[in-house]
Amino acid sequence: MSWLKNFENESISFWEGSGNGKRQALYIMVNATKGLFISCDVPMAQFIVSYNASLPASQRFILHMLDSTHMFVQPHVAEMIRSRISEFRDQNTYEKPA
């Protein structure tokens, strides 16, 4: 018998806390988390990381920093990150007044 646990939108820490002791050799317990896979260049990754760090702990969205150009984040933050980036871009450009 084998089965798969699937906690959608649930953070991994839940498993780290309560999962370890209860794991039984009989089952295949693969943990699945729903989220967004982000791939970008290094500066953009740093930007996202620093944005994440600026938020209060309860709102941080990066679940796993995979490597310098990839990360795994909570599923609902796509729009938020996009608008942050475009805000940042706007700050760095200057439009000649008409």
Taking the CB of residue 62, how many other CB atoms lie within 10 A of it? 19
- Sites for another protein among residues 38-97 (CB under 8 A): 38-41, 44, 48, 63-64, 66, 70, 72, 75, 78, 81-82, 85, 89, 93, 95-96
User: CA-based angle 50:70:64, to the nearest 5?
Assistant: 70
Report residue 80 as tokens. Answer: 């938020």
Chain positions contacting another protein, by CB under 8 A: 1-4, 6, 12, 15, 19, 25, 28-41, 44, 48, 63-64, 66, 70, 72, 75, 78, 81-82, 85, 89, 93, 95-96
